[in-house]
Amino acid sequence: MATMKAVKKPGPGRGIEVTTVAIPQPGPDEVLIKVKIVGICGTDLHIYKWDLWAESRLKPPLVIGHEFIGTVYAVGENVRHLQIGQRVSAEGHITCGHCRYCRNGQGHICKDVEILGVDRDGCFAEFVCVPASNVWPVHPDIPDFYGALFDPLGNAMHTVMAQPVNMKNVLITGAGSIGLFAIPIAKVNGAKKVIVVEPSPFKREVALKVGADYVLDFYDADVKEKIMEYTDGLGPDVFLEMSGNSQSLRLGLELVSNGGEVSLLGIPPREVELDLAKQVIFKGVTMRGITGRRMFETWYQCESFLLQNGKLIDPIITHVLDFEDVEKGFLEMEANRAIKVLLKVSK
């Protein structure tokens, strides 16, 4: 039996394990991909720390990870549109393909979705097996380091593009990698001002590097007054919540302008109590839940962004490590010394 190196969540509890597992074999409609570079996602960090979300969601053991780029190594007998050696990434949400949502272009909210590295073995390995319909050929002019980031960049793209941002004042709470990706996306798409609220000094510094107009510490006593000042006393037109922090959510809903638009990507660890009448209904606010990426509209948007503006995201890629140093990557992220960590799996 042929084997490969992989990063596995062996069971409940903190940590991961670098181990050896069998190389998966592609079915008739699947593709086996030799993985070149992977990215550590916030979801992977939740799994590493084994927090409340991971405990309620994951059923280990399994190989983790869902951000990657690689090359096609083998294809199933029914696969005709992909070639051996082709450089690819893949959509990490594997849908049923036949339900109402999948059939009307909303596969990202399929009720029977499986997530790579969460519900089935992921890409933190020398090889990963995915349905051929999920494979995304990477444009030859997009470098590997960018091509590995279609998944998280797509989360940011979906959140920003869910409403018009051109000539709008945009508030972003949470400057993790996805919140940071959202900054240049919003600016490229014509945002008037982008205001970022983030408690980490390191992440606030990176937010400025990638184009934020104003960056504030959540714990500043005058954070509300400053946001209102920057928006001419009206509040932000668009509020993008990327942190999952209930206090950040309440802050944004309190300040968003009448008739404003809100997109929520951050996942709170527990239920959140809101004053819906005061903060949403009587203000005429439109609020959207954002999950994953629109398949595959968001991927085309990300391709265009990376081809024209890829270098804007360079400051967000703070660490490039060898695959064997995966634990270091998690620890650096946990300590807020790293934002996007990439791991080199193979040449």
Q: Which residues of the chain have pLDDT under 50?
A: none
Model confidence pLDDT, tens digit, residues 251-284: 999 999 999 999 999 988 888 999 999 999 999 9
> Within 13 A of 251's CA, how many CA atoms are on the CB side?
29
Report how many helices (DSSP H) and strands (DSSP E) the chain contains, helices first. Answer: 12, 18
How many residues are listed for the chain in this entry? Answer: 347
**Annotated catalytic residue, options 3, 19, 20, 43:** 43
d(CA 264, CA 45): 20
**Annotated catalytic residue, options 20, 46, 66, 108:** 46
- What is the pTM assigned to this prediction? 0.95
Query: Domains along the chain?
Result: 3-153+293-344 (3.90.180.10), 163-289 (3.40.50.720)
Predicted pLDDT of residue 16: 97
Model confidence pLDDT, tens digit, residues 151-190: 999 999 999 999 999 999 999 999 999 999 999 999 999 9
Indicate if 286 belongs to the active site. no
Indicate if 139 belongs to the active site. no
Residues 6+ away with beta carbon under 8 Å from 341? 39, 40, 318, 319, 320, 321, 329, 332, 333
Residue closest to 254 by CA, chosen among 230, 232, 282 = 282
**Segments of the chain assigned E as strands:** 3-9, 17-22, 30-40, 62-63, 67-75, 87-90, 93-94, 114-115, 127-131, 135-137, 169-173, 193-197, 214-216, 238-241, 261-264, 286-289, 317-322, 340-344
Amino acid at 74: A
